[in-house]
């Protein structure tokens, strides 16, 4: 068994810039909710934010609140409150933690940001089922509670190739939402503002891609665990200039690290690719566990989910429809496997970890033979970790640690 090391995690200085961006984002929402100066739309994390920005909405993403409930380890105690009103413990623990927090009238926002009591009240809720059906049920709950309209895009799942008919259908659904959104916002849909939002989103996506691609350097200047918090601005800020400015500072720091051959961990011997969601309540523990084994988990299917390279301001509706359907989570196993193979190569990976998140089958890719098929094709070994994104009752720390240590020993033997 490898000897346990004391590990000090290295922080990126620019994480403060991203932290400031997130604080300003939540204060702006809170102020709008209190003064009524701007309308607020709630949107799913890969929903049509650009349309909402064009109509002057401030956009709030409940999934980021759920991730905070996870990382603050509040989620586990709140989930039973949602179970008690009919939401099963087996469904998305983002949903159950968030609804549980609403019922208990608590929020990590209140602890982190002085003066904010909780999420801003919505004027409208907008979902896209491209990631899962849970988001629709989640938003319908709040639509009932707040007595505001819920509108959504019903997307495809298990998509092999994204075709023109997929694009046409999603594009049509997006256009069909606009009259209702105009009514709620009290503003006419402005095509120029829409194009501008799509252009800013595309820029954000390109910058975020540069951030994540920096992990292909040896040693990698970035870890997956850094990425899960740094990505906040790509989730909530795409379509705004401020998010892009924050990422430029981060990229400059990552480039410095690469030029100085400074790794995100002290002694990078093994490079791991992570498939699926993080365990939010164990981010720091996992970062230390891997760093202590001279292993960098440096890239993931998860953080890459906010890269939308198809976005094109000259063709805003269709390119958005394409970008939000080309996503990894929407695709069939064949394109998913091809994508992962490309990533293993690009990031020069020694092993893959699949997180089988009990309450998110949509973002767990190890249940239908993918690890075995990919290992056969690439020769790169894998490990499946059973756990969950938010419900820590489904996570065994000891078992995870033992499995990870044994996996790294296996990689050691192969060196």
Sign for the CA dihedral angle at 40, 313, 252, 218 comes to: positive
Q: Is residue 82 within the footprint of ligand SF4 (CB under 6 A)? A: no
CA distance 264 to 327: 28
CB of residue 94 to ligand SF4, shortest distance in Å: 4
CA distance 224 to 330: 22
CA distance 148 to 265: 47
Given 21, 42, 57, 94, the residue binding ligand SF4 (CB under 6 A): 94
CB of residue 64 to ligand SF4, shortest distance in Å: 11
Q: Is residue 360 within the footprint of ligand SF4 (CB under 6 A)? A: yes
CA distance 125 to 389: 24
CA distance 390 to 91: 11
Of 128, 185, 134, 168, whose CA–CA distance to 151 is shortest?
Answer: 128
Q: What is the DSSP string of 18-33?
A: HHHHHHHHHHHHHHHH
CB of residue 81 to ligand SF4, shortest distance in Å: 17
Q: What is the CA radius of gyration of the chain?
A: 21
Q: Is residue 205 within the footprint of ligand SF4 (CB under 6 A)? A: no
Given 17, 92, 217, 400, the residue binding ligand SF4 (CB under 6 A): 92
C-beta of 74 vs 360, nearer to ligand SF4: 360
CB of residue 389 to ligand SF4, shortest distance in Å: 6
**Both tokens assigned to 138:** 């989640």
Reduced to 3 states (helix: H, G, I; strand: E, B; else coil), residue 17 is: helix
Q: Per-residue contact track with ligand SF4, 102 to 141, x per CB under 6 A?
A: -----------------------------xx-xx------
C-beta of 221 vs 281, nearer to ligand SF4: 281
Q: Is residue 270 within the footprint of ligand SF4 (CB under 6 A)? A: no
Q: Is residue 68 within the footprint of ligand SF4 (CB under 6 A)? A: no
CA distance 105 to 277: 26
Given 129, 223, 296, 362, the residue binding ligand SF4 (CB under 6 A): 362
Q: Is residue 40 within the footprint of ligand SF4 (CB under 6 A)? A: no
Residues 385-404 within binding reach of ligand SF4 (CB under 6 A): 389
> Under a CB-based contact definition with an 8 Å cutoff, are residues 58 and 101 in contact?
no
Q: What are phi and psi of 385, to 5 degrees?
A: -110, 125
C-beta of 205 vs 363, nearer to ligand SF4: 363
C-beta of 96 vs 223, nearer to ligand SF4: 96
**Applying CB under 6 A, which residues contact ligand SF4?**
92, 94, 131-132, 134-135, 360, 362-363, 389
């Amino acid at each position: 068994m490898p000897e346990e090391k004391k590990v000090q995690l290295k922080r990126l200085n620019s994480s403060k810039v991203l932290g400031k961006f997130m604080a300003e984002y939540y204060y702006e929402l809170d102020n709008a909710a209190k003064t009524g100066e701007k309308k607020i739309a709630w949107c799913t994390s890969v929903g049509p934010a650009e349309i909402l920005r064009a109509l002057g909405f401030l956009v709030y993403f409940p999934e980021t609140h759920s991730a905070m409930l996870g990382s603050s380890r509040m989620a586990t105690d709140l989930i039973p409150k949602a179970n008690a009103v009919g939401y099963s413990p087996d469904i998305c623990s983002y949903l159950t933690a968030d609804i549980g927090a609403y019922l208990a009238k608590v929020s990590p926002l209140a602890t982190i940001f002085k003066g904010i009591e909780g999420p801003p009240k919505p004027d409208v809720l907008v979902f896209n089922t491209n990631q899962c059906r849970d988001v629709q049920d989640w938003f319908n709950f709040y639509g009932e509670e707040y007595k505001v309209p819920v509108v959504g895009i019903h997307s495809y799942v298990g998509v092999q190739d994204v075709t023109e008919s997929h694009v046409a259908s999603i594009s049509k659904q997006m256009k069909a939402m606009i009259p209702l959104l105009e009514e709620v916002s009290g503003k006419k849909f402005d095509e120029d503002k829409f194009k501008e939002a799509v252009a800013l989103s595309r820029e954000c996506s390109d910058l975020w891609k540069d951030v994540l691609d920096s992990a292909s350097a040896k040693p990698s200047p970035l870890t997956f665990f850094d990425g899960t918090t740094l990505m906040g601005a790509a989730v909530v800020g795409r379509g705004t200039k401020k998010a892009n400015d924050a990422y430029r500072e981060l990229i400059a720091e990552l480039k410095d690290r690469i030029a100085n051959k400074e790794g995100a961990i002290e002694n990078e011997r093994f490079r791991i690719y992570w498939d699926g969601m993080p365990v939010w309540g164990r981010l720091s523990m996992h970062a230390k566990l891997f760093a202590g084994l001279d292993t960098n988990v440096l890239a993931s299917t998860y953080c890459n989910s906010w890269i939308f390279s198809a976005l094109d301001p000259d063709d805003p509706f269709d390119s958005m429809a394409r970008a939000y359907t080309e996503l990894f989570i929407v695709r069939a196993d064949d394109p998913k496997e091809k994508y992962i193979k490309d990533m293993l190569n690009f990031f020069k990976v020694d092993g893959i970890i699949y997180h089988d998140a009990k309450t998110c089958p949509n973002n767990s890719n190890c249940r239908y033979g993918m690890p075995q098929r990919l290992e056969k094709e690439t020769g790169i070994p894998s490990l499946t970790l059973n756990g969950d994104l938010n419900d820590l009752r489904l996570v065994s720390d000891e078992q995870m640690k033992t499995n990870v240590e044994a996996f790294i020993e296996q990689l050691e033997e192969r060196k």
